[in-house]
Amino acid sequence: MRRYAFDTIKRPLEEKQYDVVVVGAGLAGLYTAWLLDDRFSCALLVKGPLYSCNSSLAQGGIAAVMHPEDNTGQHIEDTLKAGCGLADEEGVRMMVEQGPGEISNLVSLGVVFDKEAGGSYYTTREGGHTRKRVLHCGGDATGDHLIQILADRVKEKKNVDILEDCFLADIVTGNADEVCGVIVFQQGYKAIVTSRVVIATGGIGQVYLHTTNQEGIAGDGIAAAIRTGARCSDMEFVQFHPTAFYNTQSGQSGFLVSEAVRGEGGILRNHRGEAFMEAHHPMKDLAPRDITARAIFLEMQASGENHVFLDITSRSADFLAARFPTIYKHCKAHGIDMATEKIPVAPVQHYFMGGIRTNLNGQSNIEGLYACGEAAGTSVHGANRLASNSLLECLVFSRQCATHINGRSPGKIAMPSIADVGNRVVPADIDDMRRQIKELMQQHGGIVRNEQGMTLALSAVKDIAAKMQHMALQMPRHTEVYNMALIAIEILQAALRRKRSVGAHYREDSKDYRGDSKDYREDSKDYREDSKNEP
Ligand code: SIN
């Protein structure tokens, strides 16, 4: 693996200096920037335009205990159960206990959560939840509303410079494995000198052919961290959302049809009209997400069809248009009246449980390198994330990161010179390589895996990475493909290492599917042994 992805030939670089650099302006990045002390200068790097992040696509909402019928113990239990016993209990407890406080904090910033006629929060059940505890905004526009409010608040902060269309190429470290800065591409390469970098770049969606993620979500922050020597964990656990809209004219789309639709009575049906979830789990259509996605996958495999149906025709058009305005409009625009017709759906990549290994303060094993949100490997989701725990995770662990940074003075730092690697060849076939990685991961690193397929995919992706080793990665789109290759390699290696199926990692060549969770914890212990970091 090359230590630096960016093309080191064109020097010297224009240099800027900040106390803290936050990479990514989804909920995790924005909230971190918002919570940083005003005494710290902060650069907030946005890969595209502000407001265009992955969090803005979140429909379902935020899981938090807000009603007397619910309690934190139950939310913790549901999270641990959905994670198949592999979630870190201390982290889960912290996340769940801080949930209600964070909801109040958001309200004080101007976020408006949907309420019942009587004034209490309107909460819904989603997969794996035993209680109604998912809060939402604008029906199914939770993420969009949150990001509008938070981005507006962060723009008011005098100590934060928002750098849009600014791509993270690399994190620079010194001799003692400490952060010294970042290299970014913003109309050319530039260096930012800093001793604190917070990676909040979200997940890895573009590594797969079909994903609900935004186009820019390619694991850039995680890959840049890997190049510094940062440890990762839980890389084999990739979550597929059971229900993305399947366009019967043009094929699979990445448009999410929220689990909340099933929370409001939606039923999954096969092409014969049968409600098939009953055969898979006692919670039926509200089973944990890994089980539901796999059940659909198996149903599609058995029938030879490329989608199933989500049936919410039990609800009126008025109810659906008010409760799910985004989904209702999308279906209508594609010729489906969800009040009278079943919605064609299929599972697609949605979320990444793995990421940069961090402790509960968001610190990685590299001094000064933090991560929060989907890019972080806190293990709070175990082998399968409980629905709507991701926005909650963003809030709680962004605060943990910001609090830790606020408690320490940034060190004086200088950017070391990065050796010029000499002549590299001009990139060729980049688009082809991107397509190959996505196809290989979709086919062999997806919902159902086996040793043979993963070994084949790993060898092919390694060949691509090896070719890129000697290319001058002059543009973000070049580096992005190299990042995708690194992430794919990590996922496949971790998935090959874990011999038994658990949660989102389902191996058809493993006999022990969802067996004794104590055994799974033992597997995990071995694996996480490599990933231990006590900064
Ligand atoms: C959804 O609305 O179904 C997505 C929520 C999530 O990913 O937790």
Indicate the top mutation candidate among 292, 350, 352, 353 to test ligand 1's pocket, ranked by most ligand atoms within 8 A of CB: 350
Please tell me the distance between residue 258's alpha carbon and the centre of ligand 1 in angstroms: 6
Whether 491 is covered by a domain: the verdict is yes
Sheet holding 355-357, edge to edge: 232-233, 355-357, 376-377
Atom of ligand 1 nearest to the CA of 259: 3
Residue 39 within any structural domain of the chain: no
Q: Does residue 370 contact residue 196 with C-beta atoms inside 8 Å?
A: yes
Confidence (pLDDT) at 217: 97
In this predicted structure, the answer to whether residue 520 has a pLDDT above a threshold of 70 is no
Q: Give 516's contacts (C-beta < 8 A, 6+ positions apart).
A: none
Could you tell me which residues are beta bridge partners of residue 345? 245, 308
CATH code for position 338 = 3.90.700.10
Q: CA 355 to CA 372: how far, in whole Å?
A: 9
Strand order of the β-sheet with 167-173 is 14-17, 189-193, 179-185, 167-173
Q: How far is the CA of 271 from the centre of ligand 1 (A)?
A: 25
With a 6 Å cutoff on the Cβ, whether 259 touches ligand 1 is yes
Nearest to 458 by CA among 507, 510, 497: 497
pLDDT for the residue numbered 420: 62
Q: What is the pLDDT of residues 88-128, one digit of tens each?
A: 999 999 999 999 999 999 999 999 999 999 999 999 999 99
Banded model confidence at residue 2, pLDDT cuts 50, 70, 90: confident
Contact 217, 348 (CB under 8 A): no
Closest approach atom of ligand 1 to CA 126: 3
- Cα of 392 from ligand 1 centre, angstroms: 12
- Residue 416 has a CB neighbour count (10 Å cut-off) of 12
206/215 Cα distance (integer angstroms): 7
Establish if 456 belongs to a structural domain: yes
Q: Which ligand 1 atom is nearest residue 243's CA?
A: 3
- Answer whether residue 316 shows pLDDT above 60: yes
Kindly state if the Cβ of 390 falls inside 6 Å of ligand 1: yes
Would the CB of 388 count as within 6 Å of ligand 1? Answer: yes
59 C-beta closer than 6 A to ligand 1:
yes
Query: Residue 522: inside a domain, yes or no?
Result: yes
Give the pLDDT mean for 449-476.
94
Q: What is the DSSP string of 60-126?
A: S-EE---STT--HHHHHHHHHHHTTT-S-HHHHHHHHHHHHHHHHHHHHHT----B-TTSSB-EE--
Domain membership of residue 389 (yes or no) is: no
To test the pocket of ligand 1, the residue of 245, 381, 388 to mutate (highest count of ligand atoms within 8 Å of its CB) is 388
Is residue 258 lining ligand 1, measured as CB closer than 6 Å? yes
Ligand 1 atom at minimum distance from 127 CA? 3
With 70 as the cut, is the pLDDT of residue 509 above it?
A: yes
* DSSP for residue 56: G
Would 458 be classed as within a structural domain?
Answer: yes
Alpha-carbon distance 104 to 116, whole Å? 17
Ligand 1 atom nearest residue 388's Cα: 8
Does a structural domain hold residue 90? no
Q: Name the residue of 126, 129, 214 to mutate for ligand 1: max ligand atoms within 8 A of Cβ.
A: 126
Domain endpoint, select from 329, 347, 365: 347
Of 287, 348, 354, 341, the residue nearest 315 (C-alpha):
341
For residue 393, pLDDT beyond 90: yes
Cα–Cα distance measured from residue 213 to residue 393, given in angstroms and rounded to the nearest whole number: 18
| Residue 371 alpha carbon to ligand 1 centre in Å | 22
Task: Name the percent of the chain lying above pLDDT 70.
Answer: 93
Q: Which pLDDT value is given to residue 12? A: 65
Which residue is catalytic, options 125, 262, 269, 289? 289
On whether both 338 and 244 belong to a single domain, the answer is yes
Please answer whether residues 495 and 488 qualify as being in contact, where contact means their C-beta atoms are separated by less than 8 angstroms. Answer: no
434 with 527, same domain: the answer is yes
Which is the closest atom of ligand 1 to the Cα of 59?
A: 2
Residue 357 and residue 231 in contact, taking contact as beta carbons nearer than 8 Å: yes
Mean pLDDT on 233-249: 97
Find the 388 Cα to ligand 1 centroid distance in Å: 5
CA distance 251 to 442: 15
Q: Which residues pair with 23 in a beta bridge?
A: 45, 199
How far apart are the CA of 126 and the centre of ligand 1, in A?
8
The structure's pTM equals 0.95
In a domain, 113, yes or no: no
The terminus-to-terminus CA distance of the chain in angstroms comes to: 24
Helices (H), 324-468: 325-333, 390-406, 430-444, 451-468
Q: What is the pLDDT of residue 529?
A: 40
Domain boundary among the residues 325, 347, 369 is at 347
Is residue 257 lining ligand 1, measured as CB closer than 6 Å?
A: no
**pLDDT for 161-188, tens place per residue?**
999 999 999 999 998 899 999 999 999 8
What is the reported pLDDT for 512? 57
C-beta of 54 in contact with ligand 1 (< 6 A): no
Ligand 1 pocket mutation pick from 114, 213, 259, 261 by most atoms within 8 angstroms of CB: 259
Q: How many domains does the chain have?
A: 2
SS3 content of the chain, % helix, strand, coil (to 5): 35, 20, 45
For residue 386, give the ligand 1 atom closest to its CA.
Answer: 8
Tell me what pLDDT residue 10 has: 56
Find the 426 Cα to ligand 1 centroid distance in Å. Answer: 41
Tally of CA atoms within 13 A in the half-sphere of 352 that contains its CB: 36
| Mean pLDDT along residues 484-498 | 97
Measured by CA distance, the residue closest to atom 8 of ligand 1 is 388
- Same domain as 340, residue 246: yes
Asked if 500 is an active-site residue, the reply is no
DSSP string across 447-474? SSB-HHHHHHHHHHHHHHHHHHTTB---
Ligand 1, atom nearest to 387 Cα: 8
Ligand 1 geometric centre to CA of 360 (Å) = 24
Confidence check: pLDDT of 527 > 50: no
Q: Which of 327, 347, 367 is the last residue of a domain?
A: 347
Q: What is the pLDDT of residues 3-38, one digit of tens each?
A: 898 876 555 678 899 999 999 999 999 999 999 999
pLDDT at 424: 78
**If you ran DSSP here, which 8-state letter would residue 380 be given?**
S
203 alpha carbon to ligand 1 midpoint, in Å?
14
Range of the domain at 448: 430-531
Question: If you average pLDDT over residues 375-394, what whole number do you get?
Answer: 97
191-225 residue pLDDT tens: 999 999 999 999 999 999 999 999 999 999 999 99
Beta bridge partner(s), residue 181: 172, 193
Question: In the predicted model, what is the mean pLDDT of residues 491-518?
Answer: 81
Q: Ligand 1 centroid vs 510 CA: distance in angstroms? A: 28
Answer yes or no: is the C-beta of 134 below 6 A from any ligand 1 atom: no
User: For the domain that residue 463 is a member of, what is the CATH number?
Assistant: 1.20.58.100
